Amino acid sequence: MSLVSGPGRAMSSMPSELKLCVEKHVSYIQSLDTRKDELEYWLTEHLRLNGLYWGLTALHLLGHPEALPRAGILEFLFSCLHENGGFGAAPGHDPHMLYTVSAVQILATLDAFDDLDSYAIDGRQKVAQCRSYIASLQDPESGTFAGDEWGEKDTRFLYGALNALSLMGFMHLVDVDKAVQHVHSCVNFDGAYGTSPGAESHSGQVFTCLGALTIAGRLDLVDREKLGAWLSERQLKSGGLNGRPEKTEDVCYSWWVMSSLAMIEKLHWIDGEKLASFILQCQDSEHGGLADSPGNMVDVFHTVFGLAGLSLLKYPGLVEVDPVYCMPREVTRRCLGK
Amino acid sequence: MASHGVSRSSGTAVRTEEARQKELQQIAAYKDLTNVVNKKIAEKEYTLDVLGLVTKLLNENPEYYTIWNHRRRILSALFAGSTAENDSNGSAEQLIQDDILLTFALLRKFPKCYWIWNHRDWLLNKAESELGADTGRQLWAGELQIVSKMLHVDSRNFHAWSYRRFVVQQLKRLASTTHAQTMSTKTLTESEFDYTTKMIKTNLSNFSAWHNRSKLIPLLLDERNADSTARRTLLASELDLICEAINTDPFDQSIWFYHQYLMSTLSPNCPPSDQIVQDLSNSERQKYYEHEMEYIREILDDEADCKWIYEALLFLARAYLEVEAGTKLFTTKDMRAWLDELNRLDPLRRGRWRDLADRLNI
């Protein structure tokens, strides 16, 4: 893609505060589980397993895959697993698609599917159950997926299901055609997608819908020019990207918008140099981590999506990310065999 | 863990020992409460007392989704028991009213929390089965006012707009199964359409409202049984509205996307269900394109640095060429000049303009 030559060259001429503070980000992520004397740590327990996926992926992209202990991660992961095969956010939290997908992504990243028995009794069998848990959440009528037994439906869950099942090679457990039809029914006149049929286009939902279509091999249904135009208009003067027309920029959209542009091969429709510089300005260069916008509080969510964005922009030194899965490309290549 | 819009300076100050101790106490109290709730639920103690503890916990942390699940477990058990003579469990009606108040109070504080919206959806469905269709419909109708309040505070709230469409669907479903019949359904689409007009007039930049309008128009035309004249009248009034908006603020992209929507309904490739006018001839299409082009070129006189104008002109030129190969309205040279302007005014998207030049072969 034509962006390759862009940011790479620009970085060398950038002031030092606009260089990626790799070591700082690594220690920031390592410190996350040591903050148990902060109320915020406990108030965010419902995101713990997602947080582990975000942190682990960030470390892999930074080229420090060993910075979190593998055994500790797997032990925690099993403590979130329920009888029905679903994972909760943390021990004692109910099973839900969002955490089950994170669990599968972590297992794939750690290449752990084959040695699960050494971490839990019947570990392999227990994790195998999560495939049927995921499949059971498909709504046979509409083809979309619920998040859990309580039934909230959203294209986020549909994407998550296809993401996890494809990583495990078990796509045949669900009705992929129906899922594809559902995604297609969420498209709007601007070529972009919403959470459900009739809902307003939103970059996050564009990512999930395009991701699902890519996994299903149905990008032929996408109006690439229209969608690419809508996505490219997400870039604002600061270089940052927003999620919908007339909204403010935010680092996490660096991922939702850019990965979508990458999937339809239109990444060169925005200015990569300016975007990279915006993302770098969102770093806390003292304590590590990235924030939603310059000067704000950092968190691991914006850290991984900022880094993944920089990786798509071929920022020097970062490991290549897969735009469909938000995981190291090497990992998805191993799981998918392509 | 995912903080939005929180300034770094507010969090980085070193805590005093006193503040640290206070925070440790808060943590202990919070953990005590979660432990008690989880223990009672594990023991299936589905009582009003435990519901009270759940309320307390959700007020402290509405993102704790498992606790919302616990709440539904308790409520379901209480509903099942409330038909018996045991009134101390509270009537279903009272329980539902309490939860409606609780979720509204929480939504005002946390308007983007998915779990609160979900719970409300579950609650209203339960109300219908527990209290009957009539009460159910009254409650759903009340939801429209609640959503309006939420949208008054944040007119782009994604959750609120989604919930609004969902509520309308529920009201239509109930109307078709009860005696209210089609009259009220018609009124509902009409009043929703009027609501988008109101929102747009308050703030032209509200793309959520423009979007909803684009989804309501086909329904509106259907319900009005609009004939070909009525359809043309609606298209004309929409074009008037958007042209006025363009004239007011040509730098706002919401407006241009709506303009693009209207133009896309004119295309021969537009699916019949999305067309506003269904019997357009190509010469009529040309007239619409010509009219828009002329209008937009007039604005150019005052706003030569507005990139949206050149984008729209190129869009219209391509649409025109789709239905008619030759025209005196514009030349290839004009198109080249518009592209040059886009390159000049909008360098962020230079790659896109380059691809467009290739595609247009100019």
Give chain A's domains with CATH numbers.
Answer: 16-44+223-338 (1.50.10.20)
Task: Give the lowest-confidence range in B171-175, B197-201, B323-327.
Answer: B323-327
Location of structure tokens 């979720």 = B103
Hey, is the C-beta of B251 within 8 angstroms of any chain A C-beta? no
> What percent of chain B stands above pLDDT 70?
93
Domains defined along chain B, listed by start: 184-362 (1.25.40.120)
Selection from B87, B205, B188, B336 nearest residue A245 by Cα? B205
The reported pTM is 0.94
- Residue pair A327/A57 in contact (Cβ under 8 Å)? The answer is yes
Q: Rounded CA gap, A95 and A85, in Å? A: 8
Tokens of B88: 């101390």
Contact B1 A228 (CB under 8 A): no
Show residues of chain B in contact with A38, CB under 8 Å. Answer: 23, 27
Task: Give the lowest-confidence range in A75-84, A116-125, A315-324, B71-80.
Answer: A116-125
* pLDDT above 90 (res A302): yes
pLDDT of residue A2: 31
* pLDDT above 50 (res A11): no
Interface pTM, i.e. ipTM: 0.93
* pLDDT above 70 (res B12): no
> What percent of chain A stands above pLDDT 90?
90
User: Would you say how long chain A is, in residues?
Assistant: 338
Q: What DSSP string describes A67-111?
A: SS-HHHHHHHHHHTB-TTS-B-SSTTSPP-HHHHHHHHHHHHHTT
Q: Which of B204 and B182 is assigned the larger pLDDT?
A: B204
- Residue pair A89/A99 in contact (Cβ under 8 Å)? The answer is yes
- Residue pair A236/A242 in contact (Cβ under 8 Å)? The answer is yes
Q: In the beta sheet, which residues pair with residue A291?
A: A298
Q: What DSSP string describes B37-80?
A: HHHHHHTT--SHHHHHHHHHHHHH-TT-HHHHHHHHHHHHHHHH
> What does DSSP say about strands A327-328 and A298-299: parallel, antiparallel, or unpaired?
unpaired
Nearest CB to A96 within list B3, B7, B65? B65
Show residues of chain A in contact with B274, CB under 8 Å. Answer: 189
Contact A37 B61 (CB under 8 A): no
User: Cα–Cα–Cα angle for A97, A103, A106, nearest 5°?
Assistant: 140
pLDDT band at A122 (very low <50, low <70, confident <90, very high): confident
> What's the mean pLDDT in A241-266?
96
Selection from A182, A127, A122 nearest residue A153 by Cα? A182
> What's the mean pLDDT in B205-234?
97
Kindly report the average pLDDT of chain B as a whole number.
Answer: 92
Contact B351 A247 (CB under 8 A): no
User: Would you say how long chain B is, in residues?
Assistant: 362
- Residue pair A84/A90 in contact (Cβ under 8 Å)? The answer is no
Contact B207 A244 (CB under 8 A): yes
User: Cα–Cα–Cα angle for B254, B259, B263, nearest 5°?
Assistant: 150
Show residues of chain A in contact with B24, CB under 8 Å. Answer: 37
- Residue pair B268/B322 in contact (Cβ under 8 Å)? The answer is yes
Nearest CB to B8 within list A230, A297, A301? A297
Q: What DSSP string describes B136-183?
A: HHHHHHHHHHHHHHHHHH-TT-HHHHHHHHHHHHHHHHHHHHSTTHHH
Q: Output b/e per residue, A91-112; b: 16+ Cβ within 10 A.
A: eebbbbbbbbbbbbbbbbbbeb
Tokens of A63: 């080229």
Per-residue pLDDT tens digits for B137-165: 999 999 999 999 999 999 999 999 999 99
pLDDT of residue B283: 94
Show residues of chain B in contact with A270, CB under 8 Å. Answer: 348-349, 351
Amino acid at residue number B264: S
Tokens of A32: 């996350």
